Amino acid sequence: MEQMTLRRCGILLHISSLPAFDLCFDFIDFLKDSNQSYWQILPTNPVMKELSPYKCYSAFAGDTRYIGKKRADIDYEAFIEENQYWLSDYSLFIVLKKHFNNLPWNEWNKDIAFREKASMYHFQNLYAKEIEEENYKQYEFYASWLAVMEYAKLQGIKIIGDIPLYVSYDSADVWANKPLFNLNEKGYPKKLAGVPPDNFSKRGQLWGNPTYNWGNLKEDNYRWWKERIAHAQNLADIIRFDHFRGLESYWEVDEGEKDAVKGKWIKGPGEDFLEEMKKSLKNFS
């Protein structure tokens, strides 16, 4: 853990605010020349049509707009093998989105929406080439971003990444891991995330993300979360956990409500989650 013995400062600027991805290197030079220590960014995942880094198709994949000319020296086959736990589902998901005219996964044919073996096998074979292309795009993103991280390290700049607590419903994460979320038998969210009314919003905030089935996550020793955080640690020196408060307790609203007024506080995983992360992850504090 970094010893916070010196007062340091940095700048929050998301990558998309730069005119081009390769200007990341110039921005790092600017930070160094300005005696800054940190570059804080927002999530780098593939965004939906709203272009918000907090509405993404995956909590693991990278936005392929962030591919540059400079690449870290990474073996492609090793990248595929090490990231197979999320990459195969994500690449298939993106290809299927195109096949079904960008409809949300719950509006696809039922057999593939619920990942029936025969249907999965059919589409994996039908779109093998397209899936491989998506895999390679992720490799290009990873190699491009690691080149930026390597340069930042040489210049004495640390990168602060961002993990939002919740993921989007129409994402590879929910499609491939339905038992980890509060969904009904048809795959629709039963409970939605948000925050209660306050001085800033009289009706509260209804974010629309499905809440987690923390019981199922705990039974699996929070494996999905361990994988998510470990992956994020490869892409940043320090991680900001967005809505950390939601681990202690979170505001949950029934599906169908128009706002967040009628929600209620639900106890989160709390210290049990944090202790499990500490045991399993490097530099988690």
Class of the CATH-defined domain 10-280: alpha beta
Residues 66-83: pLDDT tens digits? Answer: 999 999 999 999 999 999
Q: How far apart are CA 68 and CA 55, in angstroms?
A: 23
Q: What residue spans define the domains of the chain?
A: 10-280
* Confidence band for 2, pLDDT divided at 50, 70 and 90: low
Q: Is the model's pLDDT at 1 over the cut of 50?
A: no
pTM of structure = 0.95
Residues 71-126: pLDDT tens digits? Answer: 999 999 999 999 999 999 999 999 999 999 999 999 999 999 999 999 999 999 99
Q: What is the pLDDT of residue 244?
A: 92
